[in-house]
A and B are shown apart, each in its own frame.
Chain A
Amino acid sequence: MNASRTTTTAGRVLRQLRHDPRSIALMLLVPVLMLILLRYVFDGNPRTFDSIGASLLGIFPLITMFLITSIATLRERTSGTLERLLAMPLGKGDLIAGYALAFGAMAVVQSVLATGVALWALGLDVVGSPWLLLLVALLDALLGTALGLFVSAFAASEFQAVQFMPAVIFPQLLLCGLFAPRATMQPVLEGLSDVLPMSYAVDGMTQVLTHTDMTADFIRDAAIVAACALLVLALGAATLRRRTP
Protein backbone atom coordinates (compact mmCIF):
# COMPACT_ATOMS: atom_id res chain seq x y z
CA MET A 1 0.00 0.00 0.00
CA ASN A 2 1.15 3.49 -0.82
CA ALA A 3 -0.50 6.49 0.88
CA SER A 4 0.04 8.77 -2.09
CA ARG A 5 -1.48 6.31 -4.60
CA THR A 6 -4.46 5.87 -2.25
CA THR A 7 -5.17 9.60 -1.97
CA THR A 8 -4.63 10.07 -5.71
CA THR A 9 -7.23 7.37 -6.34
CA ALA A 10 -9.65 8.99 -3.89
CA GLY A 11 -9.11 12.33 -5.63
CA ARG A 12 -9.78 10.75 -9.00
CA VAL A 13 -13.04 9.17 -7.80
CA LEU A 14 -14.22 12.54 -6.41
CA ARG A 15 -13.19 14.30 -9.63
CA GLN A 16 -15.30 11.83 -11.62
CA LEU A 17 -18.21 12.56 -9.31
CA ARG A 18 -17.74 16.31 -9.76
CA HIS A 19 -18.46 15.95 -13.46
CA ASP A 20 -21.82 14.49 -12.48
CA PRO A 21 -23.61 17.19 -10.43
CA ARG A 22 -26.97 15.47 -10.69
CA SER A 23 -25.69 12.41 -8.84
CA ILE A 24 -24.21 14.62 -6.13
CA ALA A 25 -27.51 16.45 -5.74
CA LEU A 26 -29.45 13.17 -5.51
CA MET A 27 -26.98 11.78 -3.01
CA LEU A 28 -27.17 14.79 -0.72
CA LEU A 29 -30.78 15.88 -1.05
CA VAL A 30 -32.75 12.63 -1.17
CA PRO A 31 -32.00 11.64 2.46
CA VAL A 32 -32.97 15.13 3.66
CA LEU A 33 -36.21 15.06 1.69
CA MET A 34 -37.05 11.59 3.02
CA LEU A 35 -36.53 12.79 6.59
CA ILE A 36 -38.80 15.79 5.99
CA LEU A 37 -41.39 13.44 4.49
CA LEU A 38 -41.10 11.11 7.47
CA ARG A 39 -41.41 13.97 9.95
CA TYR A 40 -44.84 14.89 8.54
CA VAL A 41 -45.95 11.31 8.04
CA PHE A 42 -45.61 10.96 11.84
CA ASP A 43 -46.97 14.48 12.43
CA GLY A 44 -49.20 13.37 15.28
CA ASN A 45 -46.63 10.97 16.72
CA PRO A 46 -43.25 12.70 17.28
CA ARG A 47 -41.88 9.80 19.43
CA THR A 48 -42.12 7.43 16.46
CA PHE A 49 -40.35 9.98 14.27
CA ASP A 50 -37.53 10.12 16.86
CA SER A 51 -36.85 6.40 16.78
CA ILE A 52 -37.36 5.76 13.06
CA GLY A 53 -35.65 9.01 12.11
CA ALA A 54 -32.53 8.17 14.09
CA SER A 55 -32.38 4.68 12.55
CA LEU A 56 -32.78 6.12 9.07
CA LEU A 57 -29.86 8.48 9.65
CA GLY A 58 -27.77 5.32 9.85
CA ILE A 59 -29.49 3.48 7.01
CA PHE A 60 -29.38 6.21 4.33
CA PRO A 61 -25.60 6.38 4.04
CA LEU A 62 -25.42 2.59 3.90
CA ILE A 63 -27.90 2.32 1.02
CA THR A 64 -26.53 5.28 -0.97
CA MET A 65 -22.93 4.19 -0.69
CA PHE A 66 -23.86 0.60 -1.51
CA LEU A 67 -25.51 1.71 -4.74
CA ILE A 68 -22.88 4.14 -5.96
CA THR A 69 -19.96 1.90 -5.06
CA SER A 70 -21.40 -1.16 -6.73
CA ILE A 71 -22.07 0.77 -9.95
CA ALA A 72 -18.77 2.67 -9.86
CA THR A 73 -16.62 -0.42 -9.35
CA LEU A 74 -18.66 -2.39 -11.88
CA ARG A 75 -17.91 0.35 -14.41
CA GLU A 76 -14.27 0.13 -13.46
CA ARG A 77 -14.37 -3.61 -14.15
CA THR A 78 -16.26 -3.42 -17.45
CA SER A 79 -14.50 -0.37 -18.93
CA GLY A 80 -11.09 -2.05 -18.78
CA THR A 81 -9.69 0.59 -16.44
CA LEU A 82 -9.43 -1.98 -13.66
CA GLU A 83 -7.38 -4.29 -15.87
CA ARG A 84 -5.19 -1.33 -16.82
CA LEU A 85 -4.71 -0.24 -13.20
CA LEU A 86 -3.86 -3.74 -12.03
CA ALA A 87 -1.29 -4.02 -14.84
CA MET A 88 0.28 -0.90 -13.29
CA PRO A 89 2.07 -0.70 -9.95
CA LEU A 90 -1.18 -0.04 -8.04
CA GLY A 91 -1.94 -2.18 -4.98
CA LYS A 92 -5.45 -3.60 -4.64
CA GLY A 93 -5.48 -2.05 -1.17
CA ASP A 94 -4.71 1.37 -2.68
CA LEU A 95 -7.69 1.10 -5.00
CA ILE A 96 -10.10 -0.07 -2.33
CA ALA A 97 -8.90 2.40 0.29
CA GLY A 98 -9.13 5.14 -2.35
CA TYR A 99 -12.77 4.31 -3.01
CA ALA A 100 -13.54 4.02 0.71
CA LEU A 101 -11.88 7.40 1.35
CA ALA A 102 -13.71 9.18 -1.47
CA PHE A 103 -17.15 7.79 -0.73
CA GLY A 104 -16.49 8.11 3.01
CA ALA A 105 -15.96 11.83 2.44
CA MET A 106 -19.22 12.02 0.48
CA ALA A 107 -20.94 10.15 3.31
CA VAL A 108 -19.68 12.68 5.86
CA VAL A 109 -21.19 15.54 3.86
CA GLN A 110 -24.43 13.63 3.38
CA SER A 111 -24.67 12.71 7.07
CA VAL A 112 -23.83 16.22 8.31
CA LEU A 113 -26.60 17.59 6.14
CA ALA A 114 -29.17 14.94 7.08
CA THR A 115 -28.31 14.97 10.79
CA GLY A 116 -28.30 18.78 10.89
CA VAL A 117 -31.69 19.08 9.24
CA ALA A 118 -33.16 16.29 11.39
CA LEU A 119 -31.91 17.73 14.69
CA TRP A 120 -32.37 21.43 14.18
CA ALA A 121 -35.09 21.85 11.58
CA LEU A 122 -37.26 18.80 12.18
CA GLY A 123 -36.85 18.64 15.96
CA LEU A 124 -35.50 15.08 16.12
CA ASP A 125 -35.16 14.49 19.85
CA VAL A 126 -31.83 12.80 20.55
CA VAL A 127 -30.49 12.48 24.10
CA GLY A 128 -26.87 11.71 23.15
CA SER A 129 -24.27 13.64 21.20
CA PRO A 130 -24.85 14.42 17.50
CA TRP A 131 -21.16 13.52 16.95
CA LEU A 132 -21.92 9.93 17.87
CA LEU A 133 -24.77 9.90 15.34
CA LEU A 134 -22.26 11.09 12.74
CA LEU A 135 -19.76 8.45 13.75
CA VAL A 136 -22.30 5.65 13.27
CA ALA A 137 -23.44 7.18 9.98
CA LEU A 138 -19.85 7.19 8.74
CA LEU A 139 -19.28 3.58 9.78
CA ASP A 140 -22.52 2.65 8.00
CA ALA A 141 -21.32 4.43 4.87
CA LEU A 142 -18.10 2.42 4.99
CA LEU A 143 -20.10 -0.77 5.37
CA GLY A 144 -22.22 0.23 2.36
CA THR A 145 -19.08 0.94 0.32
CA ALA A 146 -17.63 -2.42 1.32
CA LEU A 147 -20.80 -4.36 0.46
CA GLY A 148 -21.16 -2.55 -2.86
CA LEU A 149 -17.57 -3.31 -3.82
CA PHE A 150 -17.95 -6.96 -2.92
CA VAL A 151 -21.25 -7.40 -4.71
CA SER A 152 -20.04 -5.72 -7.91
CA ALA A 153 -17.79 -8.73 -8.48
CA PHE A 154 -20.89 -10.89 -8.96
CA ALA A 155 -22.72 -8.55 -11.31
CA ALA A 156 -22.08 -8.80 -15.03
CA SER A 157 -23.97 -5.60 -15.84
CA GLU A 158 -25.32 -2.47 -14.18
CA PHE A 159 -28.75 -4.03 -14.60
CA GLN A 160 -27.73 -6.91 -12.33
CA ALA A 161 -25.89 -4.61 -9.94
CA VAL A 162 -29.01 -2.63 -9.03
CA GLN A 163 -30.90 -5.91 -8.48
CA PHE A 164 -28.43 -6.72 -5.75
CA MET A 165 -29.70 -3.75 -3.78
CA PRO A 166 -33.01 -5.40 -2.81
CA ALA A 167 -31.26 -8.77 -2.47
CA VAL A 168 -28.57 -7.61 -0.06
CA ILE A 169 -30.11 -4.57 1.64
CA PHE A 170 -33.86 -5.31 1.98
CA PRO A 171 -33.53 -8.41 4.21
CA GLN A 172 -31.28 -6.42 6.52
CA LEU A 173 -33.76 -3.55 6.47
CA LEU A 174 -36.61 -5.86 7.50
CA LEU A 175 -34.59 -7.59 10.20
CA CYS A 176 -32.66 -4.64 11.64
CA GLY A 177 -35.32 -3.67 14.18
CA LEU A 178 -36.74 -0.74 12.26
CA PHE A 179 -40.20 -2.28 11.80
CA ALA A 180 -40.40 -4.44 14.91
CA PRO A 181 -38.06 -4.85 17.90
CA ARG A 182 -35.65 -7.66 17.12
CA ALA A 183 -36.47 -9.46 20.38
CA THR A 184 -40.10 -9.90 19.29
CA MET A 185 -39.24 -11.61 16.00
CA GLN A 186 -39.64 -15.31 15.33
CA PRO A 187 -36.54 -16.85 17.03
CA VAL A 188 -34.92 -18.00 13.77
CA LEU A 189 -35.25 -14.49 12.35
CA GLU A 190 -33.96 -13.00 15.57
CA GLY A 191 -30.90 -15.22 15.31
CA LEU A 192 -30.48 -14.16 11.70
CA SER A 193 -30.74 -10.50 12.63
CA ASP A 194 -27.98 -11.06 15.20
CA VAL A 195 -25.49 -11.83 12.42
CA LEU A 196 -26.51 -9.04 10.02
CA PRO A 197 -24.42 -5.88 10.36
CA MET A 198 -27.27 -3.41 9.79
CA SER A 199 -28.88 -4.56 13.05
CA TYR A 200 -25.89 -3.19 14.95
CA ALA A 201 -25.98 0.04 12.97
CA VAL A 202 -29.57 0.60 14.07
CA ASP A 203 -28.87 -0.54 17.65
CA GLY A 204 -26.01 1.95 17.82
CA MET A 205 -28.27 4.77 16.66
CA THR A 206 -30.87 3.76 19.26
CA GLN A 207 -28.21 3.90 21.99
CA VAL A 208 -27.40 7.49 21.04
CA LEU A 209 -31.12 8.27 20.92
CA THR A 210 -31.72 7.18 24.49
CA HIS A 211 -28.44 7.70 26.41
CA THR A 212 -26.49 10.86 27.20
CA ASP A 213 -23.14 9.08 27.44
CA MET A 214 -21.30 6.67 25.20
CA THR A 215 -22.53 3.33 26.55
CA ALA A 216 -20.67 0.02 26.43
CA ASP A 217 -23.39 -1.25 24.09
CA PHE A 218 -22.76 1.66 21.76
CA ILE A 219 -19.05 0.91 21.62
CA ARG A 220 -19.78 -2.75 20.92
CA ASP A 221 -22.26 -1.88 18.15
CA ALA A 222 -19.88 0.59 16.51
CA ALA A 223 -17.00 -1.89 16.73
CA ILE A 224 -19.09 -4.64 15.12
CA VAL A 225 -20.14 -2.40 12.22
CA ALA A 226 -16.53 -1.27 11.70
CA ALA A 227 -15.23 -4.85 11.85
CA CYS A 228 -17.86 -6.02 9.34
CA ALA A 229 -16.91 -3.17 6.98
CA LEU A 230 -13.23 -4.12 7.15
CA LEU A 231 -13.99 -7.81 6.67
CA VAL A 232 -16.15 -7.17 3.61
CA LEU A 233 -13.54 -4.74 2.22
CA ALA A 234 -10.95 -7.50 2.50
CA LEU A 235 -13.33 -9.91 0.73
CA GLY A 236 -13.85 -7.23 -1.93
CA ALA A 237 -10.09 -6.95 -2.41
CA ALA A 238 -9.96 -10.70 -3.03
CA THR A 239 -12.44 -10.28 -5.92
CA LEU A 240 -10.09 -7.90 -7.76
CA ARG A 241 -8.06 -10.23 -9.93
CA ARG A 242 -4.93 -9.16 -11.69
CA ARG A 243 -5.36 -11.97 -14.17
CA THR A 244 -8.22 -12.57 -16.59
CA PRO A 245 -9.41 -16.19 -16.30
Chain B
Amino acid sequence: MMNKPPDGADRAATPAVHAHALTVRRGTGRHPRTVLDDLAFDVPRGRITGLLGPSGCGKSTLMRSVVGTQAHVTGTLDVLGSPAGHPGLRSRIGYVTQAPSVYDDLTVRQNLDYFAAVLDPGGAAAERRRATVTRAIADVDLTSRSTALAGNLSGGQRSRVSLAVALLGAPELLVLDEPTVGLDPVLRRDLWNLFHDLTATRGTTILVSSHVMDEAERCHDLLLMREGRILAQDTPDALRTRTHSATVEEGFLRLVDEANALTREQTR
Protein backbone atom coordinates (compact mmCIF):
# COMPACT_ATOMS: atom_id res chain seq x y z
CA MET B 1 0.00 0.00 0.00
CA MET B 2 2.85 2.29 0.92
CA ASN B 3 3.94 2.71 -2.67
CA LYS B 4 0.61 3.54 -4.25
CA PRO B 5 0.23 7.17 -5.26
CA PRO B 6 -2.30 9.12 -3.20
CA ASP B 7 -5.83 9.41 -4.49
CA GLY B 8 -6.64 12.50 -6.49
CA ALA B 9 -3.06 13.14 -7.56
CA ASP B 10 -3.17 14.43 -11.10
CA ARG B 11 -0.75 12.22 -12.97
CA ALA B 12 -1.26 14.14 -16.20
CA ALA B 13 -0.22 17.50 -14.72
CA THR B 14 3.19 18.89 -15.59
CA PRO B 15 5.84 17.43 -13.31
CA ALA B 16 6.87 19.42 -10.21
CA VAL B 17 10.47 19.28 -11.41
CA HIS B 18 11.59 18.77 -14.97
CA ALA B 19 15.29 18.46 -15.78
CA HIS B 20 16.96 18.06 -19.13
CA ALA B 21 20.70 18.13 -19.87
CA LEU B 22 21.21 19.39 -16.32
CA THR B 23 24.89 19.87 -15.58
CA VAL B 24 26.60 21.46 -12.58
CA ARG B 25 30.29 22.24 -12.37
CA ARG B 26 31.78 23.22 -9.03
CA GLY B 27 35.11 24.59 -8.00
CA THR B 28 37.01 27.54 -9.32
CA GLY B 29 40.15 27.81 -11.38
CA ARG B 30 41.06 25.94 -14.51
CA HIS B 31 39.79 22.53 -13.39
CA PRO B 32 36.17 22.71 -12.33
CA ARG B 33 34.72 19.37 -11.25
CA THR B 34 31.56 18.10 -12.94
CA VAL B 35 29.29 17.21 -10.04
CA LEU B 36 26.10 16.60 -12.03
CA ASP B 37 26.58 15.29 -15.53
CA ASP B 38 23.85 15.70 -18.14
CA LEU B 39 20.87 14.64 -16.01
CA ALA B 40 17.36 14.17 -17.36
CA PHE B 41 14.53 13.32 -14.98
CA ASP B 42 11.06 14.32 -13.78
CA VAL B 43 9.66 14.60 -10.28
CA PRO B 44 5.89 13.97 -10.50
CA ARG B 45 3.50 16.14 -8.50
CA GLY B 46 1.84 15.01 -5.30
CA ARG B 47 4.17 12.07 -4.77
CA ILE B 48 7.24 11.22 -2.74
CA THR B 49 10.31 10.89 -4.90
CA GLY B 50 13.33 9.41 -3.20
CA LEU B 51 16.77 10.52 -4.33
CA LEU B 52 19.11 7.73 -3.40
CA GLY B 53 22.76 7.08 -3.82
CA PRO B 54 26.02 6.84 -1.91
CA SER B 55 27.45 9.87 -0.08
CA GLY B 56 29.17 12.28 -2.42
CA CYS B 57 27.23 11.24 -5.53
CA GLY B 58 25.75 14.74 -5.98
CA LYS B 59 22.43 14.45 -4.13
CA SER B 60 22.84 17.68 -2.16
CA THR B 61 24.03 19.59 -5.24
CA LEU B 62 20.97 18.37 -7.14
CA MET B 63 18.69 19.49 -4.30
CA ARG B 64 20.36 22.90 -4.09
CA SER B 65 19.89 23.25 -7.85
CA VAL B 66 16.16 22.55 -7.51
CA VAL B 67 15.84 25.04 -4.65
CA GLY B 68 17.82 27.60 -6.66
CA THR B 69 20.78 28.08 -4.31
CA GLN B 70 23.34 26.36 -6.52
CA ALA B 71 25.54 28.35 -8.89
CA HIS B 72 26.87 27.21 -12.30
CA VAL B 73 23.79 25.22 -13.27
CA THR B 74 23.41 24.67 -17.01
CA GLY B 75 20.72 22.93 -19.04
CA THR B 76 16.97 22.95 -18.37
CA LEU B 77 15.64 22.80 -14.82
CA ASP B 78 12.00 23.81 -14.38
CA VAL B 79 10.45 23.81 -10.92
CA LEU B 80 6.66 24.20 -10.50
CA GLY B 81 6.52 25.66 -14.00
CA SER B 82 9.27 28.28 -13.56
CA PRO B 83 13.02 28.07 -14.06
CA ALA B 84 14.77 26.98 -10.83
CA GLY B 85 15.80 29.96 -8.70
CA HIS B 86 12.94 32.18 -9.91
CA PRO B 87 12.12 34.64 -7.08
CA GLY B 88 8.42 33.66 -7.29
CA LEU B 89 9.32 30.13 -6.21
CA ARG B 90 10.88 31.14 -2.89
CA SER B 91 7.64 30.99 -0.92
CA ARG B 92 6.42 27.84 -2.71
CA ILE B 93 9.36 25.57 -1.85
CA GLY B 94 10.29 24.28 1.59
CA TYR B 95 13.93 23.27 1.91
CA VAL B 96 15.70 21.37 4.66
CA THR B 97 19.49 21.31 4.45
CA GLN B 98 21.46 18.31 5.64
CA ALA B 99 22.78 20.08 8.74
CA PRO B 100 19.90 21.59 10.75
CA SER B 101 19.82 25.29 9.91
CA VAL B 102 18.17 26.94 12.88
CA TYR B 103 19.28 29.52 15.43
CA ASP B 104 20.70 27.71 18.45
CA ASP B 105 20.24 30.74 20.67
CA LEU B 106 16.49 30.98 20.05
CA THR B 107 13.74 28.72 21.35
CA VAL B 108 11.93 26.34 19.02
CA ARG B 109 8.94 28.67 18.86
CA GLN B 110 11.06 31.82 18.37
CA ASN B 111 12.86 30.14 15.48
CA LEU B 112 9.58 29.30 13.79
CA ASP B 113 8.04 32.69 14.58
CA TYR B 114 10.91 34.41 12.79
CA PHE B 115 10.88 32.26 9.67
CA ALA B 116 7.07 32.46 9.54
CA ALA B 117 7.29 36.27 9.64
CA VAL B 118 9.77 36.21 6.76
CA LEU B 119 7.38 34.09 4.69
CA ASP B 120 4.21 35.93 5.67
CA PRO B 121 5.15 39.40 6.97
CA GLY B 122 3.02 42.11 8.51
CA GLY B 123 0.99 42.64 11.68
CA ALA B 124 -2.25 41.68 9.95
CA ALA B 125 -0.99 38.13 9.43
CA ALA B 126 0.02 37.62 13.09
CA GLU B 127 -2.96 35.42 13.95
CA ARG B 128 -2.49 33.28 10.84
CA ARG B 129 1.22 32.93 11.61
CA ARG B 130 0.53 31.79 15.15
CA ALA B 131 -1.70 28.99 13.83
CA THR B 132 0.84 27.96 11.18
CA VAL B 133 3.66 27.84 13.72
CA THR B 134 1.64 25.82 16.21
CA ARG B 135 0.70 23.33 13.50
CA ALA B 136 4.29 23.00 12.24
CA ILE B 137 5.55 22.32 15.77
CA ALA B 138 2.83 19.70 16.24
CA ASP B 139 3.64 18.14 12.84
CA VAL B 140 7.17 17.33 13.98
CA ASP B 141 6.02 16.33 17.47
CA LEU B 142 7.90 19.05 19.40
CA THR B 143 4.97 20.75 21.16
CA SER B 144 6.30 19.81 24.58
CA ARG B 145 9.73 21.28 23.75
CA SER B 146 8.56 24.50 22.09
CA THR B 147 10.05 26.78 24.77
CA ALA B 148 13.44 25.03 24.82
CA LEU B 149 16.47 26.65 23.22
CA ALA B 150 17.27 24.92 19.94
CA GLY B 151 20.90 24.61 21.07
CA ASN B 152 19.83 22.52 24.07
CA LEU B 153 17.91 19.98 21.98
CA SER B 154 19.23 16.61 20.85
CA GLY B 155 20.49 16.23 17.28
CA GLY B 156 17.29 14.56 16.14
CA GLN B 157 15.14 17.23 17.76
CA ARG B 158 17.14 20.03 16.12
CA SER B 159 16.74 18.45 12.70
CA ARG B 160 12.99 18.28 13.36
CA VAL B 161 12.95 22.02 14.14
CA SER B 162 14.67 22.52 10.81
CA LEU B 163 11.99 20.38 9.15
CA ALA B 164 9.22 22.34 10.89
CA VAL B 165 10.61 25.54 9.36
CA ALA B 166 10.27 23.98 5.91
CA LEU B 167 6.65 23.03 6.62
CA LEU B 168 5.67 26.66 7.32
CA GLY B 169 3.52 28.28 4.69
CA ALA B 170 2.32 24.92 3.31
CA PRO B 171 4.86 24.72 0.45
CA GLU B 172 3.87 22.92 -2.76
CA LEU B 173 7.27 21.29 -3.00
CA LEU B 174 9.32 20.03 -0.07
CA VAL B 175 13.00 19.38 -0.71
CA LEU B 176 14.46 17.37 2.16
CA ASP B 177 18.16 16.58 2.28
CA GLU B 178 18.60 13.45 4.43
CA PRO B 179 15.95 14.44 7.00
CA THR B 180 16.07 11.16 8.91
CA VAL B 181 19.82 10.92 9.57
CA GLY B 182 20.50 10.25 13.24
CA LEU B 183 16.88 9.60 14.18
CA ASP B 184 15.73 6.56 16.11
CA PRO B 185 13.48 4.02 14.32
CA VAL B 186 10.27 5.26 15.96
CA LEU B 187 10.88 8.86 14.92
CA ARG B 188 11.89 7.77 11.45
CA ARG B 189 8.64 5.91 11.05
CA ASP B 190 6.67 8.91 12.39
CA LEU B 191 8.38 11.27 9.95
CA TRP B 192 7.69 8.98 7.01
CA ASN B 193 4.05 8.81 8.09
CA LEU B 194 4.06 12.62 8.17
CA PHE B 195 5.50 12.75 4.63
CA HIS B 196 2.80 10.40 3.36
CA ASP B 197 0.18 12.40 5.19
CA LEU B 198 1.44 15.61 3.55
CA THR B 199 1.20 14.17 0.05
CA ALA B 200 -2.19 12.60 0.72
CA THR B 201 -3.96 15.47 2.47
CA ARG B 202 -2.15 18.59 1.25
CA GLY B 203 -1.05 17.38 -2.17
CA THR B 204 2.55 18.28 -1.35
CA THR B 205 5.29 17.02 -3.67
CA ILE B 206 8.27 15.69 -1.74
CA LEU B 207 11.79 15.20 -3.02
CA VAL B 208 13.72 13.46 -0.29
CA SER B 209 17.29 12.21 -0.32
CA SER B 210 18.73 9.39 1.66
CA HIS B 211 21.66 7.04 1.54
CA VAL B 212 19.75 4.50 3.59
CA MET B 213 18.27 2.11 1.06
CA ASP B 214 15.52 0.71 3.28
CA GLU B 215 13.87 4.16 3.15
CA ALA B 216 13.58 3.73 -0.60
CA GLU B 217 10.78 1.24 -0.06
CA ARG B 218 8.69 4.03 1.46
CA CYS B 219 8.88 6.29 -1.62
CA HIS B 220 6.44 6.38 -4.53
CA ASP B 221 9.21 6.95 -7.07
CA LEU B 222 12.95 6.58 -6.98
CA LEU B 223 15.85 8.37 -8.58
CA LEU B 224 18.99 6.32 -8.14
CA MET B 225 22.20 8.32 -8.47
CA ARG B 226 25.81 7.37 -8.73
CA GLU B 227 28.83 9.60 -9.43
CA GLY B 228 26.80 12.53 -10.70
CA ARG B 229 24.59 10.51 -13.02
CA ILE B 230 21.08 9.07 -12.79
CA LEU B 231 21.37 5.31 -12.74
CA ALA B 232 17.63 4.62 -12.83
CA GLN B 233 14.27 6.30 -12.42
CA ASP B 234 11.49 3.93 -11.45
CA THR B 235 9.01 2.92 -8.78
CA PRO B 236 10.41 0.59 -6.11
CA ASP B 237 8.21 -2.27 -7.38
CA ALA B 238 9.27 -1.87 -10.98
CA LEU B 239 12.92 -1.58 -9.99
CA ARG B 240 12.80 -4.79 -7.97
CA THR B 241 11.01 -6.62 -10.79
CA ARG B 242 13.36 -5.32 -13.46
CA THR B 243 16.51 -6.26 -11.56
CA HIS B 244 15.03 -9.55 -10.22
CA SER B 245 15.87 -8.40 -6.69
CA ALA B 246 14.11 -8.82 -3.37
CA THR B 247 14.94 -5.33 -2.11
CA VAL B 248 15.72 -1.93 -3.62
CA GLU B 249 19.19 -2.15 -2.09
CA GLU B 250 19.92 -5.36 -3.98
CA GLY B 251 18.50 -3.84 -7.17
CA PHE B 252 20.66 -0.75 -6.75
CA LEU B 253 23.81 -2.82 -6.26
CA ARG B 254 22.96 -4.89 -9.32
CA LEU B 255 22.61 -1.72 -11.40
CA VAL B 256 25.92 -0.42 -10.05
CA ASP B 257 27.66 -3.66 -11.01
CA GLU B 258 26.17 -3.49 -14.50
CA ALA B 259 27.31 0.12 -14.87
CA ASN B 260 30.80 -0.78 -13.67
CA ALA B 261 31.04 -3.67 -16.12
CA LEU B 262 29.97 -1.35 -18.90
CA THR B 263 32.62 1.25 -17.99
CA ARG B 264 35.30 -1.44 -17.88
CA GLU B 265 34.29 -2.64 -21.34
CA GLN B 266 34.38 0.88 -22.73
CA THR B 267 37.81 1.66 -21.27
CA ARG B 268 39.28 -1.64 -22.42
Q: Which residues of A are interface residues toward B (Cβ below 8 A)?
A: 2, 4-5, 8-9, 11-12, 15-16, 19-20, 79-81, 83-90, 241-245
Contacts and interface: CB of A to CB of B under 8 A. Distances in A.
Contact of B95 (A4, A84, A89, A245): A84
B165 A84 contact: yes
Given A87-B90, A89-B87, A242-B69, A81 B103 contact: yes
A89 B90 contact: yes
Given A243-B70, A245-B28, A80 B119 contact: no
B122 A244 contact: no
B105 interface: yes
A4 B87 contact: no
Contacts of A81: 101-103
A244 B71 CA distance: 5
Interface stretch (B1-9, B49-57, B110-118): B110-118
Contacts of A87: 67-69, 90, 93, 95
Question: Which 7 pairs across A and B sit closest by C-beta, in order of nearness?
Answer: A80-B101, A243-B71, A4-B121, A8-B117, A12-B114, A89-B90, A84-B101
Contacts of B132: none
Nearest to B125: A4
Contact of A86 (B69, B115, B149, B165): B69
Contact of B71 (A16, A83, A245): A245
Interface residues of B, number: 35
21 contacts: A8-B117, A16-B103, A20-B105, A80-B101, A81-B102, A84-B95, A84-B115, A85-B118, A87-B67, A87-B68, A87-B69, A87-B90, A87-B93, A88-B91, A88-B118, A89-B87, A89-B119, A242-B69, A243-B69, A243-B70, A245-B72
B110 A15 contact: yes
A84 B97 contact: yes
Contact of B115 (A11, A79, A88): A88
Contact of A90 (B67, B101, B118, B123): B118
B118 A5 contact: yes
A79 B69 contact: no
Nearest to A20: B105
A8 B121 contact: yes
Contacts of A12: 103, 106, 110, 114
A215 B70 CA distance: 51
B64 A8 contact: no
A11 B106 CA distance: 12
Given A5-B117, A83-B101, A87-B69, 5 more contacts: A5-B121, A16-B103, A79-B99, A89-B91, A241-B71
Interface in B232-257: none
Given A8-B118, A81-B101, A19 B69 contact: no
